Amino acid sequence: MKVIEKYNDSLHNPYWKYQLGPETYEVKDTPLRVESIKKALRSDERFDFQVAKQFPERFIARLHPYHDYIRNTGLSLHNDDEEFYPDLFPGEGANLTKKVDSPLWGGIWCTDAVTPIMRKTYEVARASAETALTGAELLREGQEKTVYALCRPSGHHAGPRVFGGYCYFNNAATAAEYLLPEGRVAVVDIDYHHGNGTQEFFNEIKSVFTASIHCDPSNEYPYFWGYADEKGTGQAVGTNHNEPLPKDTSLEQYSAAVDRIIEKIRAFNPAYLIIAAGFDTHIDDPIGGFQLLTEDYISIGQQFKSLEIPTLVCQEGGYNVDNLGNCVKNFLLGLM
């Protein structure tokens, strides 16, 4: 299986995180995640690493209205360790007619205080999206049937209006947009957290089926998206499906949710499948709450393999670096 990588992601390694109160919390999204995955996959000759290519900026910019803001804010910083956070998030009734191109206006584009911009954030986030685009190109040209894009930063919380949740550009959505001229696309998110950005990108697009299996958002991030009654809107009603599951979900419950989604994908009959694959569903993940074991990901991968559709896997979450690499490896082996 082709594994697409590109970048020195240590260029984006935030130290601060502001969440659930005034204290700072340890950032879990570190470059060690990528090293854990590489170590596990490079130990197996069935995985063939390939460096991602560079794509024109327009492939990313046309989907993300905050593209220039992220780039320009990074350029305005003076050293590689500096982190910029918005300090005001305008709500309903705010006067946005005076908007100027300034980092101070970042609350328009960012949803939270856990997704800072650093001097090299744009460079790393663009490379992450290009990793997904390279994988999509291999599928579109018929060179591969299954490709794994080792993306970091993740992308599934970045949407068509705002970014957040450690995510800057939506890698899976960028790849789906690239593949759409060749046929319909299904995007399935298996991260512990709902893929709200991906859902919002395609909420009105009937040629893309989106689905997400995640912890019930009534008590887990992102809180305001991911409920079972969100089905898509307008001409796309019925092309979005959510499987919110309770904390302590086991493999049996999880696999049943996968089967329900697979049934809907078969009915949709897409030309391509994109899996936004997070492994914070593991029992030992520091920010998760499910009970999946390392070996469980083999059978989950096998469930998706049964679709026999050209498949791109984009890396999302997963924060226990001691087992993340083996979780990814097992899932990919199941797909193979």
Residue 282 DSSP symbol: B
Joined tokens for residue 299: 């059978």
Q: Listing from the earlier edge strand, what are the strands of the sheet with 2-5? A: 48-51, 2-5, 146-149, 311-315, 272-277, 185-189, 208-215, 240-245
Please state, for a pLDDT cut of 90, what percent of the chain lies above it: 83
- Residue 44, judged by CB atoms within 10 A of its CB (0-12, 13-18, 19+), counts as exposed
Provide the pLDDT for residue 21: 57
Cis peptide, bond prior to residue 90, ω within 30 of zero: no
Encode pLDDT of 119-143 as tens digits. 999 999 999 999 999 999 999 999 9
Which of 65-74, 78-87, 193-202 shows the lowest mean pLDDT across its residues? Answer: 78-87
Residue 54 DSSP symbol: P
pTM of the model: 0.95
75: Cβ–Cβ under 8 A, 6 or more apart, which residues? 119, 122
pLDDT at 63 over 80: yes
Domain ranges of the chain: 2-56+128-335
- Alpha carbon 184 to its chain's center: 20
Provide the pLDDT for residue 99: 66
**pLDDT band of 24, cuts 50, 70, 90:** low
Encode pLDDT of 180-191 as tens digits. 999 999 999 999
**pLDDT band of 30, cuts 50, 70, 90:** confident
Instruction: Name which of 308, 322, 303 is nearest 270 in CA terms.
Output: 308
Which of 115-124, 191-200, 253-262 shows the lowest mean pLDDT across its residues? Answer: 115-124
Q: What is the mean pLDDT of residues 72-92?
A: 88
- Active-site residue, 241 included: no
**pLDDT band of 105, cuts 50, 70, 90:** confident
Provide the pLDDT for residue 113: 84
pLDDT at 15 over 70: no
Which of 97-101, 181-185, 275-279, 294-298 shows the lowest mean pLDDT across its residues? Answer: 97-101
pLDDT at 23 over 60: no
Considering just the CA atoms, what is the radius of gyration of the chain in Å?
Answer: 19
DSSP states along 240-281? EEEEEE-TT--HHHHHHHHHHHHHHHHHH--SEEEEEE--TT
Provide the pLDDT for residue 215: 98
Dihedral sign for Cα atoms in the order 34, 191, 133, 115: negative
Name the average pLDDT for the chain.
Answer: 93
Q: At residue 266, what are phi and psi to the nearest 5 degrees?
A: -60, -40
**pLDDT band of 19, cuts 50, 70, 90:** low
Rounded to whole angstroms, what are the CA distances from 29 to 147, 166, 167, 222, 285? 23, 7, 10, 17, 12
Hey, what CATH class is 2-56+128-335 in?
A: alpha beta
> How many angstroms separate the CA atoms of 101 and 103, rounded?
7
**pLDDT band of 103, cuts 50, 70, 90:** confident
> How many angstroms separate the CA atoms of 210 and 159, rounded?
13
Rounded to whole angstroms, what are the CA distances from 159 to 42, 139, 172, 173, 270? 33, 24, 11, 9, 22
Q: What is the mean pLDDT of residues 67-85?
A: 92
Catalytically annotated residue among 12, 64, 156, 157 = 157
